[in-house]
Structures are given as structure tokens and as C-alpha cells.
A and B are shown apart, each in its own frame.
Chain A
Amino acid sequence: MTTVENLQQLLTDALNPTELIIEDDSASHAGHAGNTGGGHYNVIITSSQFEGLSLIKRHRLVYDAVDELMASDIHALSIKAKASSNA
């Protein structure tokens, strides 16, 4: 399974999103300072579970869901977490 597929699976299972877009942006960051090999990914996610939560709490839910990938496969995750598609 690719990292994108892994992300898709973990986020879908944990947050039951109504919108989930994952982009692999690794190519534009390969080998820059401090990158130990993991990729860069952009995530746009909409889930009713974010309703009423601050940005930091939404991002924590996303990080918690993908925790097992953060140590190795993911160097950076850019997150846009919305509670509903028009927010």
C-alpha cells in the first residue's frame, strides 16, 4: 500500500470524512534540510467530528489518526480540516 493509500484508510476509519483529498507533494521537497526521508503530503479533510473544535484540536485528531505513519513515512503533513464543506 502506498503512503497515500495508507493515509486514506487511516483517516477514513478514524474520522468518517465527507470530503478527503490527499496529495503527495514529496517531489517538491526531496532532500531539503532536515528531511530524513519521509514524504510531504497535503490533506484536505471535512468531517462532522471537527464541529465546534478549535483548529489545534482538529489537527490533533488528524495527527492521532495517522500517528503510526508520522515516525517514518511522513516528514510533513499539511492539513486543512473543515467541519463542513462550506466552512
Chain B
Amino acid sequence: MDIMAQLKDVIEGNSVVLFMKGTPDFPQCGFSSRTSQALTACDVPYISVDVLAEPDVRANLPHYADWPTFPQLFIEGELVGGCDIVMEMYENGTLKTQLDATVKAS
């Protein structure tokens, strides 16, 4: 399976996916760290993919959703955004609302 098909599988097969540098426990970048902390604080299950450990993902994900940087958060197969957007949504409460709706629906 080619990398784009693999990305599609991961993104569409999981309700909440975070592509980040490092892992939630050992983030390797401040932006990834803040984003995973916000997600964890919303108390919903999510899977994370470490793009530093997956060079193919790192090279190709920016083309998948036409978004140039990491981290990238996908909810229900849709790109929500990077660190700034996730943090703004976390602070105004819409992140939690959207995540809760996702978890209820699945």
C-alpha cells in the first residue's frame, strides 16, 4: 500500500489522530507538546503518530491535507489545524465540544 493510502487509513480509521514530533509523554517540539497537552486535557481517547520516527509520514503528510507544518490534528478524517488553532479552540472551549460530539457519535 502506498504512503498516501496508509495515511488515509490511519486518518479515516480513527476518530481523533494527532501527528506530532515525539510522543505525548516525550514530545520533541514545543508546538507538539502544547497540542498534545490540550488534547489530553480534553479527556478523550486519541492516537498519536510520531513523525520523527516515521520519515515517510513526515515527508508526505504535508501533501495529504495541504498543510505545511506539524503538529496536525485530524478529527473524523478532517484536518482541524496545527498548534495555534488547537490552542485557540482549547481556550475558547470549542475543542472539547467538538471532541465530545465525536466520542458520543462513535
Contact = CB atoms under 8 A, between A and B. Distances in A.
Contacts of B67: 60, 63
Interface in B34-75: 51-52, 66-70
A79 interface: yes
Give the interface size bracket for B toward A. 20 to 34
B21 A34 contact: yes
B68 A70 contact: yes
Contacts, number: 44
A29 B79 CA distance: 26
Interface residues of A, number: 16
Nearest to B30: A29
Interface string B68-91: 111000000001111111001100
A55 B85 contact: yes
Contacts of B31: 76, 78
B29 A34 contact: yes
B28 interface: yes
Interface of B: 21-22, 28-31, 51-52, 66-70, 79-85, 88-89
Interface of A: 29, 32-34, 55-56, 59-60, 63, 67, 70, 76-80
